[in-house]
Structure 1
Amino acid sequence: MAIFTVHLPPTAQGAAPAPEKIVFLRDGFSWPAFFLGPFWLLWRRAWIAAAAWTALLTVIGLVAWKLKISRDAMSWLGLSLAVWLGLEGERIVAWALARRGYVETDVVVGDDEEEAEMAFFHRWRGIAPQARSGEQDA
């Protein structure tokens, strides 16, 4: 079973968010983030984080070249940074979502994202009629 955090997009007061705009982020290690680094961040629309990650890698590379640090040490540092991004990548994406106005509202458990969505919307359905009645009045 995996744990997912649920992020709702910004909406008008009392309006329910569009279900297709709700984002589910899996908590845990991300292999795509580990292997693809800044490209994964770009794909996840974390623009600032991708630019900062690229700048960090560039600065580290230039400093290592200037100080003539061994290739072995640089390989270990690169591997360490990749592991860190694999571990924290989803939290970085959550930060990028928060900058765009998304709010982390729930935590759900499921074998995969589809099952987590079903669990969330099953619970959300009990809340949604109140929001929907407000939408119908408008």
Structure 2
Amino acid sequence: MTMYTVLIPPDTQLDSLSDTDLDRVTFIKEGFCWPALYIAVVWMLFRRLWLVVIVYLVLALLLEFVTRHIGGVAPFVGGILFALLVALEANGLRRWTMERRGWQLVATVEGSTLADAEQRFFSALAARRTSPAPTAPAPAPAPRTGPANAPRFASAHVVGLTPGPRQG
């Protein structure tokens, strides 16, 4: 099963999503991104990852410069490793960019396909909306007034914790 993270638009709440907000809910797959492996810059531009494109191009040029000076198979190996790294982190960079823009991560859903994950999320959301309001949680216990494991300095001697003369 594939894991998907669910993000909702900025300035919205999960319990009060309108129909237009429901259409904008975004599911981002966890893991490897094949389009980012083959056409990374096009994929980034399509996803509007402007800062990521700039950093990608700077790092690609720096990698090209360094590996050309090393010579041999270094440019080939370096290029393949860089492309694999970008493809592994592409969906994480997309999620990071959306969170920077104010989108809220509200859930993680698993499904064999995107449609299955969407069905699970929206059916759980519908069940949450139709269920009765939860009761108020029980009050938290009062905090302790003193430190829990403080050594006593009067008569108890704890090796390394009690100040005073050493006993020999």
TM over 0.5: yes
How far apart are 1:83 and its partner, in Å?
0.7
Aligned 8 A contact 2:2 2:111 in 1: yes
Considering only aligned residues, what root-mean-square deviation do their CA atoms show, in Å? 2.0
Higher relative contact order (CA 8 A, sep 6+): 1
Give aligned-pair identity as a percent: 27
Please name the residue that 2:142 is paired with: none
Q: Which is helix-richer, 1 or 2?
A: 1
Taking structure 2 as the reference length, the TM-score comes to 0.69
Query: 1:69 and 1:40 mapped to 2: Cα distance?
Result: 30
| Alignment of 1:57 onto 2:60 | yes
Aligned 8 A contact 1:33 1:89 in 2: yes
| Alignment of 1:107 onto 2:113 | no
Please name the residue that 1:136 is paired with: none
- Picking from 18, 21, 25, the partner of 1:22 is 25
Structure 2 unmatched runs, 5+: 132-168
Aligned 8 A contact 2:67 2:74 in 1: no
Query: 2:104 and 2:6 mapped to 1: Cα distance?
Result: 8
How far apart are 1:112 and its partner, in Å?
1.0
Q: Provide the aligned length of Structure 1 versus Structure 2.
A: 128
The 1:93–1:12 alpha-carbon spacing in structure 2 relative to 1, beyond 3 Å, is closer
Structure 1 unmatched runs, 5+: 131-138
Aligned 8 A contact 1:9 1:103 in 2: yes
The residue identity in structure 1 corresponding to 2:17 is A
